[in-house]
């Protein structure tokens, strides 16, 4: 949420992706914490790694330097959501094949919908920024 404060202080616009992400991530973390699903720990660790890269980029860019690896930040974010797909398939496999299935399918569906929507929004952002980059060249 610190990034939102910095954007507001610097009078930079807040994008739909930014506002949507921060509006939904708090309830998502709450739902994951209450569900106690074992795979949620891996999600949190992966998300922390992505945010380390992202905030390092923000800090480096704030010095006024042009950061050559800017587009890779979004690619890492997209990869995070793409990585969730095989995990989701494994979860569904065990849910439908293991005796008794897996617990808390509702949480799984909710998180899947949120991550799917973020994947689409990040892809849209990436494609739009690549188009703007190409026209600027």
Annotated active-site residue 21? The verdict is yes
Residues sharing a CB contact under 8 Å with residue 76, sequence separation 6 or more, in sequence order: 50, 53, 54
Residue 100, φ and ψ in degrees, nearest 5: 85, -10
Q: Point out the catalytic residue in the list 18, 21, 22, 133.
A: 21
Beta-carbon-side half-sphere exposure of residue 1 (alpha carbons within 13 Å): 5
Residues sharing a CB contact under 8 Å with residue 58, sequence separation 6 or more, in sequence order: 3, 6
Q: What is the set of active-site residues?
A: 21
């Amino acid at each position: 949420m610190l990034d939102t404060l910095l954007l507001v202080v610097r009078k930079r616009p807040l994008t739909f992706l930014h506002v949507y992400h921060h509006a939904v991530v708090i309830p998502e973390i709450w739902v994951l914490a209450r569900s106690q699903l074992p795979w949620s720990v891996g999600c949190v660790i992966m998300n922390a790694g992505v945010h380390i890269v992202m905030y390092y980029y923000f800090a480096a860019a704030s010095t006024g330097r042009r950061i050559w690896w800017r587009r890779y930040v979004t690619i890492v974010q997209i990869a995070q959501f793409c990585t969730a797909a095989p995990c989701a398939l494994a979860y569904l496999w065990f849910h439908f094949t293991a005796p008794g299935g897996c617990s808390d399918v509702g949480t799984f569906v909710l998180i899947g919908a949120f991550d799917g929507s973020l994947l689409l929004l990040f892809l849209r952002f990436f494609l739009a920024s690549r188009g703007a980059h190409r026209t600027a060249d």
